[in-house]
Structure 1
Amino acid sequence: MLKRNNDKKVSLLRYWTTRYFITLCIGLIIIGLISFFWLRSYNLERGLNVTSFLADEISEDLAGTEDNSIGLNADLASYVRERQQAFDIETEPLVYVVDNNGNIVSNSLFGNSLYQEPVVFPDSFLDSGPQTVRIEQGNQAQYLVKSRIGGDDGSFEGWVVIVQPADSLVRVGGQYQLVGILLVSLALLGWLTIYILSKRLLRPIKQIAEAFQRVKEEKYAIRIDTEAKEREIDELVTGFNDMTTRLGQLESMRTELLAGVTHELKTPVTSISGMVQAVKDDVVTGDEAKEFLSVTLAETGRMRNMIADLLEFNTFSSQGVPTDMQSLTLESLLNEVIHQWSISNDTDRLDIQKQYGEKTHAVYTDPMRFQQIMVNLLNNANQAMKKEGTLTIRCGEKNDHMVAIEVIDSGIGIDEEEQLLVFERFYRGENKKYNVHGLGLGLPFSKLIAQGLGGDLYLQSSRPEETVFVFELPQDVPGEETNREKQTDVM
């Protein structure tokens, strides 16, 4: 027996949960990066909007004031801090007040350690540049936001310019932590979910794997009881249970076959040995010795027939049934077979009824194979009735291409649990196992031949006093072009 290398094998639970967790983490990392850049962009846009609104408010407050009022740095710094708290701005901005000539007249740099150097405005920023610009000063990126200061009469008096470090505008702090906690929670929840679902899904698979180990030990009395809601799992479990049931039946038939073959061969061998020994030792002489020899020849012939049946069945199963197909009349063929069978069997207590109908049927079949099937069906019917009862042979059209022959006996019937097994090779029912000699190949052999003839053989129904076997054959339809082979492989 081949041994499998399990050194590098991992459990299905570990395989799927690990790969799912890795895939989930990669997906969440991608989502986290997208969320990070989106939050930066959103917060930058939001920060610039708030800064622009703050610049507009400062410019409105400064409109129409005296020059000495806006020139006090300490007052402006205090004012900016007050507005910072009102607008909930995390980092204190730097505010410049510029007159209409571009000269800085005031700033909020007083006491603010974030801005070590004064900001240099880009060329044309105060003249025609955009309201918001980004500049690089030293190693720090900054945003400049301006707002126009107008007088009471609508005259232009200057600009309010607010400087904000870029890092302070995109700083999200707690938002990053919240997104991180959310992503980690999703990863753990996803892993836990797939772990629970995989473990539940793998439970019947694990049971089947363990059951297969018992099957390998030729223990077939196994049944997995699970109520799986998944269709595929239910089909797998049902298929396994059907398989073990089937294997148990085959093992039982194999055991019975060995016992049956041994018994069937041992009985004639013992009989032959005893009778030959009796003749040799002159225990019997004359006519009695000749009778012993005749019985010996009969037993030898029975053994030869059993061996021939085994060999022929194996040959037909692997290579197909050789046939010699001919166009024949079904009713005439049936009459001939029934007549020959009646002569060679004890039919005195049988009531043989033929129900053919008025119309004759032309069939295309092999007469010798046809006789084999019918003789086997008639023998089985005779045995089921214990050679006493009503035997009915009925024939008629099944459709335009097939005819059906029904063999009906009034015997004891076949048990329901055995009806599905009657065509299994080597299977012998309880009613025949100890009462009738044979190997259990009669019906399987007949079905094999029937299929080789282009028809079929099956059990239609069985109950006490009525068992119906149906033998179907192809009709020989006049004028129909057919390509028929001499040999048909039914495997």
Structure 2
Amino acid sequence: MSTNLPSGNSIPLLRFWTRRYAGVLIAILIFLGIIAGVWIKVNENQQSFQLLQTRAEQLSVSYIRSTEVLQSQPSSSQDELHIPPSTPAVPVTPATLATPAEIVRPVAQDFMQIFTEEGHNLINFSSLDISLSETLAETPTTIESVLGGNSTKEKVKIKESTWLRVGIPLSKEGEVIGALYLSTPSPEIFLDNIETYGFLVLIILGIAFGGWLVIYHLSRKLILPLHQLTEAARQVSEGDYSPNLPSTTKVKEAELQQLFSSFEVMTKRLQQLEQMRTDLLAGVSHELRTPITSIRGMLQAVQGGIVIGETADQFLVTTLEEAKRMQKMVEDLLDFASLESSAIHGEFVLLSLSEVVEEAIQQVHAIENFKNIDIDVSPSIKPLKIVADRGQLKQVLLNLLMNSAGAEANKITLNITIEDKKLNLDILDNGKGIATPEIPYIFERYYRGDSKRKKKQGLGLGLPLSRLLAEANNCELLLVSTTPHETIFRLIIPIE
């Protein structure tokens, strides 16, 4: 028996899923890493702006206080420190800055500007080179908004560097008296947070490797029983219906337990079907060869004049009976195949159930070996009318009666009960019962069994054919009970 081998481009399940999982996991982690990097950058910018605004607010408070101190000093001192508004603002260094500017000095890398309420630049403070300071000293475009009482945040591109600049209004007693701008170089986020990014990369790699190990371990655990199942399937395909399967108690997963249990049931079923197929070939060979041999021998005896007179006539009658039996077996095979393929359709009419039962009983009594069997029918059957195919229903009843008669029964009783618009026709006999191991298979095609109940002749199609015929007439045939001394079959017929 040939088996289907994996195609050349197939790969092991473990390698396929671990590679795919690793690819998906790395892609997800890279995506999350990018999001984390962007978040760090955005968060760093927000923190830088927040810190810069906090320093600007502190400087604004210091500036307001310093102006109040100056206003409380003698006028001569104020004149010495007064900077006329019309004087153009120039960069002020720490060495030349006088009070109040020296009180409001920013940190070394910051650049501070103070504007009057008219928008004139009053103070520029920077420790940077003159060219860079002059560029920063230009009046910001947001001055009107700040003088209107709003705080601003912006990034300023100067040469090849980026600066962060915040502007806040200078307020005194609820009135805006000017504006303060504070600028600082934008931090190099990657360089400043290289340790953070390095740590993030290590975390991503660690999670990826750990996740891959977990999925590899779980995949191996899952694939191991699948390998065992694959090997068992290979053994079954080669004709071995008793493969080695792990015990379901050793498999913890419910789905795998169900899979192994179903596979085990399937192998037993296949083994049973294979045995039935073997029995069928043997049975068909025997059942057909025996009557053919008998017919041939008896015809040769008559033809050769070995038997004459009444004996020759009896030989011809027996030959005819054997030919009829062969015809019946062939018809059973053809009918069963036709019923399985739904090729036979019944002619459903309203008929008397008692008449069909009487016809079946007469046919049973017409058989030499069964004519002395006592068959009792419940009197309540006479008025009952049903819708069914007359020939098919009679065939079902005849098969059931023959089945009971073949079990060495000498009394058969047909009882009638009605419930829920269904008529239950019970066929009870006192013959040999059905062995318990054979009960699950009695409606299987070609199953003949090993008990004494089986007919000595036939192909094992009586009960399976009867069930198919019953189903074709919307009826149901089942075994109610069986003991060594009594067996009951029930035919359930729908009634209006």
Output the TM-score relative to the length of structure 2. 0.75
- In structure 1, C-alpha distance between the alignment counterparts of 2:347 and 2:115, rounded to whole Å: 121
Q: Within the alignment, does 1:465 sit opposite 2:488 as a pair?
A: no
| Contact kept? 1:44, 1:170, Cα under 8 Å | no
Q: Can you give the 5+ residue segments of structure 2 that lack an aligned partner in the other structure?
A: 71-76, 82-91, 97-101
Q: Within the alignment, does 1:261 sit opposite 2:277 as a pair?
A: no
- How much has 1:294 moved relative to structure 2? 4.2
Deviations along 1:226-260, whole A, 9 cap, x unmatched? 35665554544443333322222211110000011
Deviations along 1:178-207, whole A, 9 cap, x unmatched? 222222223233333333333334444443
- How much has 1:24 moved relative to structure 2? 2.6
| Contact kept? 2:359, 2:394, Cα under 8 Å | no
Name the SS for the 2:248 alignment partner. Answer: coil
* 2:207 corresponds to: 186
Name the SS for the 1:408 alignment partner. Answer: strand
| Contact kept? 2:115, 2:180, Cα under 8 Å | yes
Aligned CA distance change for structure 1 residues 4 and 158 (closer, same or farther; 3 Å): closer
Aligned CA distance change for structure 1 residues 54 and 307 (closer, same or farther; 3 Å): same
| Contact kept? 2:33, 2:200, Cα under 8 Å | yes
Q: Within the alignment, does 1:369 sit opposite 2:389 as a pair?
A: no
Aligned mate of 1:175, from 196, 214, 223:
196
| Contact kept? 1:143, 1:163, Cα under 8 Å | yes
- In structure 2, C-alpha distance between the alignment counterparts of 1:94 and 1:123, rounded to whole Å: 15
Q: Which amino acid aligns with 1:123?
A: E
Of stretches 164-173 and 60-69 in structure 1, the one that deviates more from structure 2 is: 60-69
Q: Within the alignment, does 1:226 sit opposite 2:241 as a pair?
A: no
Q: Which amino acid aligns with 1:414?
A: I
Q: Which amino acid aligns with 1:438?
A: G
Of stretches 260-269 and 318-327 in structure 1, the one that deviates more from structure 2 is: 318-327
Q: Within the alignment, does 1:393 sit opposite 2:414 as a pair?
A: yes
| Contact kept? 2:409, 2:430, Cα under 8 Å | no
Aligned CA distance change for structure 1 residues 241 and 122 (closer, same or farther; 3 Å): farther
- How much has 1:455 moved relative to structure 2? 1.8
Aligned CA distance change for structure 1 residues 468 and 169 (closer, same or farther; 3 Å): closer
* 1:352 corresponds to: 375
Aligned CA distance change for structure 1 residues 301 and 107 (closer, same or farther; 3 Å): closer
| Contact kept? 2:347, 2:388, Cα under 8 Å | yes
* 2:45 corresponds to: 44
Of stretches 310-319 and 122-131 in structure 1, the one that deviates more from structure 2 is: 122-131
| Contact kept? 2:364, 2:371, Cα under 8 Å | no
Pairwise CA RMSD of aligned residues? Answer: 4.4
Q: Within the alignment, does 1:317 sit opposite 2:340 as a pair?
A: yes
Of stretches 338-347 and 442-451 in structure 1, the one that deviates more from structure 2 is: 338-347
Aligned mate of 1:215, from 220, 229, 236:
236
Aligned CA distance change for structure 1 residues 116 and 170 (closer, same or farther; 3 Å): farther
- In structure 2, C-alpha distance between the alignment counterparts of 1:426 and 1:99, rounded to whole Å: 108
- In structure 2, C-alpha distance between the alignment counterparts of 1:131 and 1:473, rounded to whole Å: 91
* 1:73-472 equivalences in 2 (<5 Å): 93-94=109-110, 107-108=126-127, 118=133, 120-125=135-140, 133-144=154-165, 161=182, 163-167=184-188, 171-222=192-243, 225-226=247-248, 232-276=255-299, 288-346=311-369, 350-357=373-380, 360-384=383-407, 386-388=408-410, 390-400=411-421, 402-432=422-452, 436-472=456-492
- How much has 1:393 moved relative to structure 2? 0.9
- How much has 1:209 moved relative to structure 2? 3.0
* 1:485 corresponds to: none
Q: Which amino acid aligns with 2:234?
A: Q
- How much has 1:279 moved relative to structure 2? 5.3
Name the SS for the 1:7 alignment partner. Answer: coil
Of stretches 429-438 and 372-381 in structure 1, the one that deviates more from structure 2 is: 429-438
Q: Which amino acid aligns with 2:238?
A: E
Higher relative contact order (CA 8 A, sep 6+): 1
- In structure 2, C-alpha distance between the alignment counterparts of 1:226 and 1:295, rounded to whole Å: 58
| Contact kept? 1:98, 1:158, Cα under 8 Å | yes
Deviations along 1:37-70, whole A, 9 cap, x unmatched? 1111111221233344445667778957999998
Q: Which amino acid aligns with 2:280?
A: L
Of stretches 26-35 and 293-302 in structure 1, the one that deviates more from structure 2 is: 293-302
Name the SS for the 1:357 alignment partner. Answer: helix
Q: Which amino acid aligns with 1:470?
A: R
- In structure 1, C-alpha distance between the alignment counterparts of 2:4 and 2:323, rounded to whole Å: 47
Aligned CA distance change for structure 1 residues 394 and 61 (closer, same or farther; 3 Å): same
- How much has 1:140 moved relative to structure 2? 1.2
Q: Which amino acid aligns with 2:237?
A: K
* 2:25 corresponds to: 24
| Contact kept? 2:353, 2:381, Cα under 8 Å | no
- In structure 2, C-alpha distance between the alignment counterparts of 1:158 and 1:370, rounded to whole Å: 108
- In structure 1, C-alpha distance between the alignment counterparts of 2:122 and 2:133, rounded to whole Å: 13
Q: How many residues are paired up?
A: 456
| Contact kept? 1:102, 1:158, Cα under 8 Å | no
| Contact kept? 1:347, 1:387, Cα under 8 Å | no
Name the SS for the 1:321 alignment partner. Answer: coil
- In structure 2, C-alpha distance between the alignment counterparts of 1:99 and 1:318, rounded to whole Å: 100
Output the TM-score relative to the length of structure 1. 0.76
| Contact kept? 1:143, 1:166, Cα under 8 Å | no
- How much has 1:441 moved relative to structure 2? 0.9
- In structure 2, C-alpha distance between the alignment counterparts of 1:451 and 1:22, rounded to whole Å: 56
- In structure 2, C-alpha distance between the alignment counterparts of 1:170 and 1:52, rounded to whole Å: 23
- How much has 1:118 moved relative to structure 2? 4.6
Of stretches 435-444 and 197-206 in structure 1, the one that deviates more from structure 2 is: 197-206
- How much has 1:440 moved relative to structure 2? 0.5
| Contact kept? 1:142, 1:165, Cα under 8 Å | yes
Q: Can you give the 5+ residue segments of structure 1 that lack an aligned partner in the other structure?
A: 74-78, 85-91, 478-491
| Contact kept? 2:433, 2:453, Cα under 8 Å | no
Identity of aligned residues (%): 29
Name the SS for the 1:430 alignment partner. Answer: coil
- In structure 1, C-alpha distance between the alignment counterparts of 2:373 and 2:413, rounded to whole Å: 10
| Contact kept? 1:48, 1:169, Cα under 8 Å | no
Q: Which amino acid aligns with 2:418?
A: E
Deviations along 1:102-154, whole A, 9 cap, x unmatched? 687875459xxxx9955632422597666655322221112246789999xxx
Deviations along 1:201-234, whole A, 9 cap, x unmatched? 4444443333332232232224564356655545
